[in-house]
């Protein structure tokens, strides 16, 4: 099990059915735009965007099963480890680049966010919210948190860079990314009240510094 492939598989359960957070991501993607999905897993999001939003999409996935499933859906997919960067893509080649529930497994977090901002005008990322109110209780009981969003034990987890909403927002600001929208979820339900404590998953849409300069 690779660090990249584990959270991707967990994030795209029930093949062919989009979860609430993926539907939110799809709503943020402009029709007929160019989309890059990093860690596209089985290609279900790109297939939905192609059919519902008429987008042109390319996926990057390292897991063999995910690549095969994407190809069967008619999705353009490149098999590659994201840790190697996105050097094969040109500056501002895409309108939107997506990294769904994979950020927390990346060794070079700042690097992948900078690369996302380089290859696309806008980026969308989602990640587990480590600030959920149950996590401190688990730690007080002497246990690392294990839940639906982070279903791994401490010894086999691919999640190496867990963060809160505020942590990510501070990092984004430091990298010059302008946050355009935020959505938070808990068990498929969108959370609007006290999201820092009540949400288990956060989704952010941001503009790249290059796109802001060209605007």
- Residue spans per domain, the chain: 5-214
Which of 119, 104, 86, 83 is CA-nearest to residue 211? 119
Q: Work out the pLDDT band at 202, boundaries 50, 70, 90.
A: very high
Structure tokens at 182: 């935020």
pLDDT digits (tens, 9 = 90+) for 133-188: 676 666 667 766 667 666 666 566 666 788 999 999 999 999 999 999 999 999 88
Rounded to 10°, the helix 20-28/44-53 angle is 50
Query: What is d(CA 62, CA 49) in angstroms, rounded to the nearest whole number?
Result: 21
Q: What is the pTM of this model?
A: 0.86
Bridge partners (DSSP) listed for residue 127: 202
- For 5-214, which CATH class? alpha beta
* pLDDT higher than threshold 80 for residue 43: yes
Query: What is d(CA 164, CA 123) in angstroms, rounded to the nearest whole number?
Result: 19
């Amino acid at each position: 099990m690779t660090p990249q492939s584990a959270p991707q598989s967990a994030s795209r359960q029930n093949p062919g059915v989009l979860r609430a957070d993926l539907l939110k991501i799809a709503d943020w993607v402009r029709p007929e735009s160019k989309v890059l999905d990093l860690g596209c897993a089985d290609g279900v999001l790109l297939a939905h965007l192609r059919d519902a939003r008429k987008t042109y999409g390319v996926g990057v996935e390292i897991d063999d099963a995910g690549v095969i499933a994407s190809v069967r859906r008619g999705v353009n997919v490149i098999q590659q480890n994201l840790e190697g960067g996105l050097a094969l893509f040109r500056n501002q080649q895409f309108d939107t680049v997506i990294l769904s529930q994979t950020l927390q497994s990346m060794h070079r977090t700042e690097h992948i966010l900078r690369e996302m901002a380089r290859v696309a005008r806008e980026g969308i990322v989602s990640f587990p919210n480590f600030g959920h109110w149950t996590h401190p209780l688990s730690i007080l009981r002497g246990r690392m948190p294990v839940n639906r969003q982070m279903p791994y034990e401490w010894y086999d987890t691919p999640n190496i860079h867990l963060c809160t909403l505020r942590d990510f927002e501070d990092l984004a600001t430091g990298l010059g990314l302008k946050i355009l929208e935020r959505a938070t979820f808990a068990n498929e339900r969108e959370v609007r009240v006290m999201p820092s404590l009540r949400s288990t998953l956060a989704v952010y849409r941001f503009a790249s510094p290059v796109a802001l300069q060209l605007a």
